[in-house]
Structure 1
Amino acid sequence: MKHGAVIFLLLFTAVANAQGPIGSWHDHSSSCITLRVATGSKEVYASTGNAVIIYNRETGELRKAGRVQGLSETGISSIGWSEETGSLIIAYESANLDIIKGNNIYNIPDIRMKYIPGRKEIFRIRCRESYAFLAGTMGIVVLDINKKEIHDTWKPGDLSFEVYDVAFNGNLVYAATSGGLWYAVLTNPGLSYPGSWTRVEVLPEPGASLNAVVSVNNMVYANRKIESYGQDTIFVLQSPQQGAFFSSSQNLHNLSLDSYSGGFTVSSATNVRIYNQGGTLVRTVDSYNGTAPDIGHAVYDGKDIWIADRSMGLVRAVNGNEFGFLNLPGPLTNNNLSISTSAGKVYIAGGGVDNSWNNLWRPLQVFTSGNNQWISDMRQDLHDAMRILPDPADKNHFWVSTWGAGLLEYENNLFARKYDASNSPLETIIPGKPYSRICGLAMDGKRNIWITQTGVPGSVKMLRSDGTWIIFPFTIDAPTIGDIIVTSSGQKWIILPRGYGLFVFDDNGTPDNFSDDRFRKMLVKDTDNKVTPFVYSIAEDLDGNIWVGTDQGPAIYYNTSRIFDEEPVAYRVKVPRNDGTGLADYMLGTEIISSISVDGANRKWLGTFNSGVYLISADGTTKIRNYNTENSPLFSNTIASLSVDGTTGTVWIGTSRGVISVRGDATTGGSSFGNIYAFPNPVREDFNGVLTVTGLMRNSGVRITDISGNLVYRCTSDGGQATWDLMNYRGERVSTGVYLIFVSGEDGTQAAVTKVLIIK
């Protein structure tokens, strides 16, 4: 069986932060994490887990093939190149398969869809003639590459054995399994029957697990893996009945054995060793000119060594001592605890805490992108970046909260200073130790920075714009103090993680005077008197309403000016079932809302722990869109953070597998009409997207006419942007010509006009 769909592969050189048409996606996952490598005569391929990095040997072009370009999934477990068929075979963690051949992608879902007891995983792909041999938990699956179908499944030794690698030597096939090294005659038609296989008994502990096998010059080399401390051992076989010890090294774990025309390579995390056909070591790479490697896999083509490094990306070693690092623009890692955006720039904090809010001790990871450039700041002496607060007046100036290292300030995109217990009121929970734990950051209209701190007196502190500090004289009764927002009315809303609800605080515009402060600690209680204590996210919308993300969907607080005067009640939108029962369900009532961001049309983008991203209407009553791994290029349905860039409309989404963005159709509307323009302009005859008009005021009226004044389309803008599908009222694409676009403000006092050329 084979999948009928063929997807055209759109490969291109990645440009960070590039703006495409409305609805277009951009992959910002790291290319510095590579796990597998495969070489062809014209191109070299490296798997990042999310995508495949492709290097053209002739032109030097580096490009990416991932979900955005048409791959079926993320979570790549192995890749293999077939020179005979000119095909790249990709296996996923789900056991799904893709074949890239030329500019086409063919999906073969047979293994993924077939019921097989236990887990399904493909560890290694070896190609021979027109077949790919997939070593995995289900045995060896034989894929006919040309026919794009499963040809056979072999079961070496025992149905319970996992197969980690496969090699061919003469008329024999060898399988490295969890239960020893097994072989069979290749022409035997019954290799799906375990009894057709024979275990190699000449090895010490013949039933021990072997993870790699390779055939070179009529000799077979196999690696016995040791899971914990100790040493892997490579054995060499002249025949199934004759073998000997080859090599071992203390605490060295071999990941792969791979052949080349003159011998074979042995990959381990710390080095690559190249042997000739006689088994003599001829070269070792254990350093990139002083930098220690972290190798996932390496192969040698007789000229260059190609290394998939887990922190440096695809590495090309020329002559063993000249190194080229082949990376695309993007963050150095896929960690993304939180994402912020401001004026066309994105900020990613790659730290984190565990479920109990204990430190991960992840080295500091701060990534920013603007003007098509990525800047990564990674430091071993600082740790666990939590949130990033951009300066709205200077997008290259920002602050970073950390879970233990205090508050960091960056100027001109460079680390400038640190505030901690040694030079500020940001106390540490353990005197003399780096435990100034900060999470929430927010800026008010006077450019004061509001900070939440956990485990010390004074849960809320303020860094004034003049550099002085205010410590508020209350300590919130909760083990953890999370995010903070400053609302348009001046209130401060604070999340209390782990089931402690919310804390609302109002200094009445006089932060120096504590006597008029008001505050309230509360759990989320809705109009049905149902209490929801677990809060994960919070945002204020354009109407001043507070949206709270809970473990039971979103909740909304209206009329927040009375939050201290009466018992607060949150409103949860109910959606009628329309099934005749008269019943209704809470909007996304079974979802954990991990992140909330408001776009220029006052619609809400909601990130969830299990179901991807939702876009809901301004009032929360309508699901407009749900992006998930089944219907979009989204890497994962687990969303850590998201943020809408009001300047461009781009929605930045942080998933458990990395960052991706989609160009939204709403931008922040201006107080007046700015640089109004339509794009694309001109609209070519082969363009199939939507025309976008930007630079508008919020809720602008938009009228589009032909040159004679005939109305062909009208709408209200989504924030500062409007779109048109190029259809007239009869559902036909409009004719070639110049079209006038008239826009007016919501109150009718301001108006403007622009034009666009459309070619049918």
Structure 2
Amino acid sequence: MYRYYLILVSLISILSVNLSAQHTVGSWELYSNYGIDRADILDTKSRVYFCGGGSLFHYDKDMDEMYSYNLGNGLSDVNVCGIYRNYDRDYTVCVYENSNIDLIYDNGNIVNLSDIKDAQYVTDKSINSVSFDDDEMYVATGFGIVRYDTKNGAVKESGIFSFPVYGVTVMGENVVISTDNGLFGISKSQRVNDFSKFVKLSDLQCDGLYGMSDDFIIAHRPSANWVNIYKIDFDNKTVGGNYPGFAMYDFARMRMFGDWFAIISRYGYVLCRLYEEDRVEYKYVELPSSLYTSFIYVGGNGSGSDNDLWYLNDDGLGHLTYTTNYIGIDNSQKLTNYTIDREPSCPFGTSVHGGPTRLAASDIGVYATYNAQSRYPAHDNYSYLMKLNIVNNGFVDDITPRKGDYTTINPNSANLLRTGHHVVVDPEDPSIVYVPTWFEGIWKFKDGKQIGKYDKTNGPFGTGYSCSVEDVAFDSNNNLWAIAHDFTRSREIVTILPANKNKSNTASYSDWITLDLPYFGTHESRDSRIVHFKHSKNKNLAMITQTYGDQNVVIYDTKGTSAVSDDNYWMVNRFTDQDGKTFGPYAVISIAEDNNGDIWLGTACGVVVIHNLRNMLSNQDNTIERVKVPRNDGTSLADYLLDNQEVTSIAVDAGNRKWLSTVTSGVYYVSADGREIIDNFTRSNSIIPSNEVHSIVCEPNSSDVYFGTTNGVAVYHSTITPAASDFSDVYAYPNPVRPDYTGWITIKGLMDNSLVKIADSAGNVFLQTRSEGGMVMWDGCNGAGERVPTGVYYVYASQNQESNNGAVTKILVVK
């Protein structure tokens, strides 16, 4: 027995090597998005909580580490829009755009309060303000006020007033709220569910208020862009006093830090507190002008210090300390001398930046960036700053070029790196990417630096307000194709740069070849696409789409030559389906070529398939298939696949199955022919952070499928991997299979359609199946569904029944 134990331990050690990075089939990963929109900061003694881009993070001061919160590790929702702190009870309130609430305790517990989100009889559920009183929490909403008992996680009472309450604060024994009709107060001992019990205190209209003491209040008046301090006389029901006011043209929020109150704007804040009985002590803490950017927010320090600040910019959370400290009584002094003791950053390796809606797969990872403009789904954010990420082996690297690593020529860029439309990988060097943009033409980046650029100085692109290039692609000869909007002539152009000119970065205006496509596009479409196909039956064929105006589709044959004089094309915007019905014109938003050479089109009204693209061009035959999904209800009825849905992206996996993303209903996973919906992943049954999914890619060397959303990148570890060319690298995981493991055992590295058998040393076969792509799965059980005994099991793989390649790997099972 002792000898057997030693052998078993040795096998476990050997088989455990290099398998730590494998993921369970059917599991998910989520990379939270960080951006400067919806930004906020909360400082505590040990942590700094901050949100941005709809995500929540914290920085641990003691550990000098950052943590990213998301659906996969405890949060209840997505799209964080605000955070609040109960300093007396050590929890942070996370408010979502849909009015859901999470209480995040410093000990790691997260309590969900979904009552406002789930309310049935109110219309405006927006959360405007949160205030605390020991274990009670008051929430000002678009319909009134809600009072929580946070100790028990329950609603204590609700005041449904049918008008908005903009602010709420607790002042001693009183609760004060702000409405369109002024300030109102009520004793804490009374119920807040009846507005008639509230007493009017003032006509003062404000959208933010904070109680400084039992009778002093800070209020922000948006109509005057002013923050004032007032004294409330609850006995006489008056509000007044000659106390300081502060002009706050970029007012963001008010916070309490110990006995200090911070009135925060985008570029700094005013710290104030009561001094003696009726005097106010205050000072300005302003972000130095040398650190100003277009997007920045600041927060105070919750550890008791009053001469430093935390701030957020596009790179993340930073900190600076002032080397002078001046506190004025009833006057102010700006602090100027400072040191940056923490450069801005985000959770390293686990968060993506900038709303990663566009993805591109490569052999070295998946690139992710934001899309400046689109009509499907509709958004217009071309002034955003660019963020470029690459995800590889579970790690995110921010490869956004820094200032000095890129050049701009358009004054409308303001010398900033504005976001692009897509990211396209160089076919010869996966570390090189091309980003077509709204203002600057085409950027060519490598390792976070500009190595080339095509704009009006060296290409046929616009010279007006913008230099908009909507998409780029490479043909089989590695020539660079671009579709752009010529603002001077109000039309779309398609132009080609020969491969040698692109490779040498020596292009001039005359090197570009612009195609003659009359009437192709007279409008700037934002979603135009160019796709060159690779299957042998589509050799030298391409498709070019224009998704506005006439919504034309061009099928183009390059004939495999550099010259365009012998090229052939056909332009169409109406198709005929298999039943003779007209389809279109509809915008073609996404295009994919499957493993059989069929062309799948995602449109603004569902999915269609072209089975013979070359015949469509040669014979001007506009026949398509509108895929029908049988209802399987005993009738012969069927429904069109994703009928009337906007299909934003299509990806094809190694098994020729299709992944389809939509604007409103998440992602559909369908069979190779599309006639069976295998799964529909949404916010309700997965950790996809949004049902509005902009892009999908299948990672070329694994089973991973990536989904790009404005709220982050979700990764699904699917059941199909690309097939290998031989059996030289077959492996299984988990391996060893330990007694407490009950999931699937995955065998990867197989050739396509391999015959796979799993047997014990005596030759008893426990599984016989065919691989779909390069992977099969085994439940570790025998034919009776019982866990197999402890032992070593052999995986045999071959391409047919007659051939036998022998055992390609072993699996150790410990029962």
- Aligned residue for 2:84, secondary structure, equals strand
| Residue 346 of structure 2 corresponds to residue 327 of structure 1 | yes
Cα gap change, 1:454 to 1:744, in 2 (>3 Å): farther
Tell me the equivalent position of 2:187. Answer: 185
Tell me the equivalent position of 1:428. Answer: 461
Match of 1:277 among 271, 274, 278: 274
Cα gap change, 1:405 to 1:310, in 2 (>3 Å): closer
Q: Distance in 2 between matches of 1:172 and 1:639?
A: 47
Cα gap change, 1:236 to 1:363, in 2 (>3 Å): same
Cα gap change, 1:82 to 1:453, in 2 (>3 Å): closer
Q: Distance in 1 between matches of 2:804 and 2:627?
A: 35
- Aligned residue for 1:385, secondary structure, equals coil
State how many pairs are aligned.
Answer: 729
- Aligned residue for 1:376, secondary structure, equals coil
Match of 1:215 among 212, 233, 247: 212
Aligned 8 A contact 1:172 1:184 in 2: yes
Match of 1:547 among 590, 600, 605: 600
Report the alpha carbon displacement of residue 554 of structure 1 after superposing the two structures with TM.
Answer: 1.2
Tell me the equivalent position of 2:558. Answer: 507
Aligned partner letter, 1:196: K
Matches within 5 A, 1:289-688: 290-292=291-293, 294-295=296-297, 298=300, 300-303=302-305, 307=310, 309=312, 311-318=314-321, 321=338, 322-324=340-342, 325-329=344-348, 333-355=353-375, 360-370=382-392, 372=395, 373-377=397-401, 380=413, 381=415, 383-423=418-458, 426-429=459-462, 432-433=463-464, 435-455=466-486, 459-467=493-501, 469=511, 471-476=513-518, 477-479=520-522, 480=524, 482-488=528-534, 489-498=539-548, 500-512=551-563, 514-528=565-579, 529-534=581-586, 535-566=588-619, 567-688=621-742
Match of 2:151 among 138, 142, 146: 146
Stretch of structure 1 that moved more, 537-546 or 62-71 = 62-71
Tell me the equivalent position of 2:77. Answer: 73
Stretch of structure 1 that moved more, 413-422 or 698-707 = 698-707
Q: TM (normalized to structure 1)?
A: 0.88
Tell me the equivalent position of 1:728. Answer: 782
Match of 1:31 among 25, 31, 34: 34
Aligned 8 A contact 2:132 2:170 in 1: no
Aligned 8 A contact 1:344 1:647 in 2: no
Match of 2:221 among 217, 222, 225: 225
Aligned 8 A contact 1:175 1:182 in 2: yes
Matches within 5 A, 1:695-734: 695-734=749-788
Q: Distance in 2 between matches of 1:100 and 1:358?
A: 34
Match of 2:241 among 236, 239, 244: 244
Q: Distance in 2 between matches of 1:383 and 1:36?
A: 23
Tell me the equivalent position of 2:103. Answer: 99
Aligned partner letter, 2:317: L
Aligned partner letter, 1:143: Y
Aligned 8 A contact 1:36 1:308 in 2: no
Aligned 8 A contact 2:554 2:569 in 1: no
Q: Distance in 1 between matches of 2:599 and 2:388?
A: 29
Identical amino acids, percent of aligned pairs: 26
Report the alpha carbon displacement of residue 538 of structure 1 after superposing the two structures with TM.
Answer: 0.3
Aligned partner letter, 2:600: W
Stretch of structure 1 that moved more, 610-619 or 569-578 = 569-578
- Aligned residue for 1:543, secondary structure, equals coil
- After superposition, the C-alpha distances for 1:506-542 in whole angstroms (9 at most, x for unaligned) are 1221232523534343433311222122211001011
- Aligned residue for 1:428, secondary structure, equals coil
Flag structure 2 segments of 5+ consecutive residues without an equivalent: 1-20, 324-337, 404-412, 503-510
- Aligned residue for 2:196, secondary structure, equals helix
Cα gap change, 1:260 to 1:565, in 2 (>3 Å): closer
Tell me the equivalent position of 1:3. Answer: none
Q: Distance in 2 between matches of 1:148 and 1:222?
A: 29
- Aligned residue for 1:395, secondary structure, equals coil
Report the alpha carbon displacement of residue 332 of structure 1 after superposing the two structures with TM.
Answer: 6.5
Aligned 8 A contact 2:356 2:370 in 1: yes
Aligned 8 A contact 1:362 1:383 in 2: yes
Q: Distance in 2 between matches of 1:126 and 1:251?
A: 22
Aligned 8 A contact 2:472 2:483 in 1: yes
| Residue 66 of structure 2 corresponds to residue 62 of structure 1 | yes
Aligned 8 A contact 1:175 1:213 in 2: no
Matches within 5 A, 1:33-182: 33=36, 35-48=39-52, 50-82=54-86, 85-101=89-105, 102-154=107-159, 159-182=161-184
- Aligned residue for 1:454, secondary structure, equals strand
Aligned 8 A contact 2:22 2:733 in 1: no
- Aligned residue for 2:566, secondary structure, equals helix
Report the alpha carbon displacement of residue 450 of structure 1 after superposing the two structures with TM.
Answer: 2.6
Tell me the equivalent position of 1:9. Answer: none
- Aligned residue for 2:212, secondary structure, equals strand
Aligned partner letter, 2:49: Y
Aligned partner letter, 2:398: W
Q: Distance in 1 between matches of 2:317 and 2:181?
A: 33
- After superposition, the C-alpha distances for 1:237-283 in whole angstroms (9 at most, x for unaligned) are 15343522433444524332222333211111221222233221245
- After superposition, the C-alpha distances for 1:206-239 in whole angstroms (9 at most, x for unaligned) are 24233222324x4422223225xx5223122153
Output the aligned Cα RMSD. Answer: 3.1
Report the alpha carbon displacement of residue 103 of structure 1 after superposing the two structures with TM.
Answer: 4.3
Report the alpha carbon displacement of residue 629 of structure 1 after superposing the two structures with TM.
Answer: 0.9
Report the alpha carbon displacement of residue 434 of structure 1 after superposing the two structures with TM.
Answer: 6.3
Cα gap change, 1:119 to 1:68, in 2 (>3 Å): same
Report the alpha carbon displacement of residue 284 of structure 1 after superposing the two structures with TM.
Answer: 0.7
Aligned 8 A contact 2:666 2:690 in 1: yes
Stretch of structure 1 that moved more, 733-742 or 546-555 = 733-742
Q: TM (normalized to structure 2)?
A: 0.82
Q: Distance in 2 between matches of 1:100 and 1:251?
A: 31
- After superposition, the C-alpha distances for 1:357-397 in whole angstroms (9 at most, x for unaligned) are 98834444433344632322367535441222212442211
